[in-house]
Amino acid sequence: MKIFVTGACGYKGSVLVPKLLRAGHEVVAFDAMWFGNFLDPHPDLTVVKGDVRNTDEIDLSGVDSIIHLSSVANDPCGDLDPKLTWEISCLATMQLADRARRHGIKRFIYASSGSVYGVKEEAQVTEDLELLPISEYNKTKMCGERIVLSYKDDMVVQIVRPATVCGYSPRQRLDVSVNMLTMQALMNGRITVFGGDQTRPNIHIDDITDLYLFLLEHPEHTGIYNAGFENISILDIAKMVTKYVPAEVVVTPSSDPRSYRVNSDRLLSTGFQPKKTVEDAIKELIGMYSQGRLSNEDRWYNLKWMEKEVVA
Ligand SMILES: NC(=O)c1ccc[n+]([C@@H]2O[C@H](COP(=O)([O-])OP(=O)(O)OC[C@H]3O[C@@H](n4cnc5c(N)ncnc54)[C@H](O)[C@@H]3O)[C@@H](O)[C@H]2O)c1
């Protein structure tokens, strides 16, 4: 299959693209490269530096499937420049889906977010609950989903609502909870936890990227899927880190009220099974750090980097 991946140079894309190539697919990796490009050259890989908002930069000839990952990818970044956020994460999603339909592309996989639910009282957050997104980021994802779903009669539409992703990627993110807490312990011997009681779902980067491959292989599974397998409090993640890296845990007040447990039974009913855990991610990050393959860089923090390089 020829697969067009937007946001391909991002945290998830940098793990996903090599897997797609190993599976024998041809890949067009399309990305604005805000954080750089960490994809190794490969005969079946074409890397295009471009902006999804500029539709004339997007060449979909011969493409069978789109995996749409590009977006302004967290709450504080979404608030930096709401117009930019809506243009990239929502308007460009509409234009890409529309182009895909015009090109007769039959498969569209969309990376939404588990954060579209907002704050939920329900013990189990399932796909059919009402969406009450809080931030600009969450709202663009909700609208992006609706846009992509409106093309479901033209193509196979598969939407994933991932939990917070954890683990190592050549394009690292240290602003996501497990990675951030692990890095704090490694660098400072001290972990600062905001609030601590908020329960959040997690997914290992190998599992979320395997899921995109699984969906490519299973066009019969259409619609929306939660993808989060370990609902753990931030404090418990910090304690898990201290099993492997001695560190003091300091709890401070938090202004972020989001606390939820995601239920991924719909996804599990397709036969997809996660293979890794939060604990695996922590151990792998520690391994990379001790080998000198993971270091603390500004560009691994989306907000810091976007303030400096993207919306400065
Ligand atoms: N990482 C997570 O925990 C998580 C959880 C849920 C959902 N998601 C979603 O998964 C997707 C990928 O997340 P990630 O963690 O890899 O994020 P990331 O920030 O590492 O990657 C996003 C990529 O999109 C690119 N991009 C941004 N604007 C662009 C534009 N206008 N044109 C072309 N490329 C552009 C950036 O350069 C970057 O490489 C995002 O849509 C994100 O919202 C991520």
Report in angstroms the alpha-carbon separations of 42 from 20, 21, 47, 181, 307. 11, 8, 10, 34, 32
- Can you read off the two tokens belonging to residue 198? 């908020």
pLDDT digits (tens, 9 = 90+) for 123-178: 789 999 999 999 999 999 999 999 999 999 999 999 999 999 999 999 999 999 99
pLDDT at 257: 65
Ligand 1 interacting residues, C-beta cut-off 6 A: 6-7, 9-13, 31-35, 51-53, 69-71, 73, 88, 111, 113, 162, 164-165, 171, 173, 176, 302
Say which residues have a Cβ less than 8 Å from residue 246's Cβ, sequence separation at least 6: 185, 189
Distance CA 258, CA 125 (A): 13
pTM above 0.95, yes or no: yes
Pocket probe for ligand 1: among 4, 19, 34, the residue whose CB has the most ligand atoms within 8 Å is 34
Mean pLDDT of 74-101: 95
What is the rounded (10 degree) CA torsion for 154, 158, 161, 164?
Answer: -130
Which residue owns the Cα nearest ligand 1 atom 9?
111
How does strand 199-204 pair with strand 230-233?
A: antiparallel
Q: Using the atom order of ligand 1, give the atom closest to the CA of residue 171.
A: 20
- Inter-residue contact 245 to 283 (CB < 8 Å): no
In the chain, alpha helices (H): 13-22, 75-80, 82-86, 92-102, 136-149, 177-188, 205-217, 234-242, 265-268, 278-290, 302-305
Distance CA 297, CA 211 (A): 28
Work out the mean pLDDT of the chain and round it to a whole number: 95
pLDDT at 312: 76
Q: Using the atom order of ligand 1, give the atom closest to the CA of residue 137.
A: 43
| Banded model confidence at residue 197, pLDDT cuts 50, 70, 90 | confident
70: CA distance to ligand 1 center in Å?
Answer: 4
Phi/psi for 21 (5° steps) reads: -65, -45
156: CA distance to ligand 1 center in Å?
Answer: 22
pLDDT at 27: 98
Q: Using the atom order of ligand 1, give the atom closest to the CA of residue 164.
A: 3
Q: How many structural domains does the chain have?
A: 1
| Domain span holding position 181 | 2-310
- DSSP string of 72-94, one letter each residue: --SHHHHHH-HHHHHIIIIIHHH
R_g (Cα) of the chain, nearest Å: 19
pLDDT at 104: 96
CATH classification at residue 292: 3.40.50.720
Which residue do the tokens 């189990």 mark? 124
11: CA distance to ligand 1 center in Å?
Answer: 7
pLDDT at 258: 66
